Amino acid sequence: MSSDSPPAAARASGFAYAFAAYLAWGGFPLYWKQLAHVPPVVVVSHRVVWSFLFVAGLLTLWRRWSEFLGVLRNRKALAALLLTTLLISINWGLYIWAVNTGRVMEGSLGYYINPLVNVLLGRLFLGERLRWLQVGAVGLATLGVLNLVVGLGQVPWVALALAGSFSLYGLVRKLAPVESLTGLAVETGLAAPMALGVLLFGGWEQPVLGSTPRDTLLLMGSGVATALPLLWFALGARRLRYSTLGIIQYVAPTLQLALAVLVYGEAFTSRHAVTFACIWMAVLLYTLDGLWARAPNARTSSAPT
């Protein structure tokens, strides 16, 4: 077995985890639209509480509570996770509000911008350098996003806030010295007391667990729906270059934009068509660059010795 096999296996599993996470996030509007009648702060609070209970169950099953307690005693790790808790809470709340106020397309724009921010952060904080095909891919994607921004005729603050909060979340989680499941348990555990207080003492007109059995199931299920993609994302982020993760991320906004147009009837103009063309050409360039870069290694590892 060649010496580069483990990194190749890690990249493959990282791609699978990241793709699964973005595929799930791309379908999120279908889920949150079912709870459009529930205040966003209530939905976010349920996401936090049920996510914590879900990951706490996994920690119990796999006997990993010692890791959880170890993070709480590690000031550096705890400080990083306090920051990621704040960032992901902002992101969750804003996205649910955007979906349930008819801004699915603007939400998708945020996640189109997000990979570009990932690439920038990867360059600034991780020292990642881009080859010329990768530069071309990022340039095309940037043109596509700018084309859509200009078409809106205003500063898309929801999109920018979504992109900024999640890109920073991903960067801090990548750098935090904490395993994926344990990190998510700490994040949701830190936010759970406040979330529970919101649910119990917020004075909501409807019952805490929802006004119908269907609402109850959806609210409780939000924990699994939230936790699994985040776990997959964290596992993928630790196995891939951050700029590569940014390109895969286009899966989610593409699905969201398709839902906005095909399911929720939001307008798809010629400007959107140009943006799609630019972005998918960018994905193609980035993929070709990856294949090209791996080809010499493959030839070297397969050469007779």
pLDDT, tens digit (0-9, with 9 covering 90-100), for 89-148: 999 999 999 999 989 988 988 888 887 788 788 888 888 787 788 788 888 888 888 887
The pLDDT value given to residue 302: 45
What is the arithmetic mean of pLDDT over 151-160? 79
Reply yes or no on whether the pLDDT at 236 is more than 90. Answer: no
Residue with the bigger pLDDT between 58 and 304: it is 58
pLDDT, tens digit, for every residue of 250-298? Answer: 788 889 988 999 999 888 888 878 887 887 788 788 778 767 766 655 5
Dihedral angle sign, alpha carbons of residues 256, 261, 264, 267 = positive
How far apart CA 112 and CA 294 sit, in angstroms, is: 27
pLDDT, tens digit, for every residue of 12-44? Answer: 888 889 999 999 999 999 999 999 999 999 999
Confidence of residue 152 (pLDDT cuts 50, 70, 90): low
The pLDDT value given to residue 294: 62
The b-or-e profile of 54-85 (16+ CB within 10 A means b, else e) is bbbeebeeeebeebbeebeebeebbebbebbb
The pLDDT value given to residue 170: 86
What is the arithmetic mean of pLDDT over 58-75? 93
pLDDT, tens digit, for every residue of 109-126? Answer: 888 888 778 878 888 888
pLDDT above 90: percentage of residues in the chain: 43
CA-based nearest residue to 20, from 263, 286, 235, 285: 235
The pLDDT value given to residue 285: 84
The pLDDT value given to residue 295: 61
Tokens of 276: 């799609």
The pLDDT value given to residue 304: 47
How far apart CA 265 and CA 262 sit, in angstroms, is: 6
Summary mean pLDDT of the chain: 85
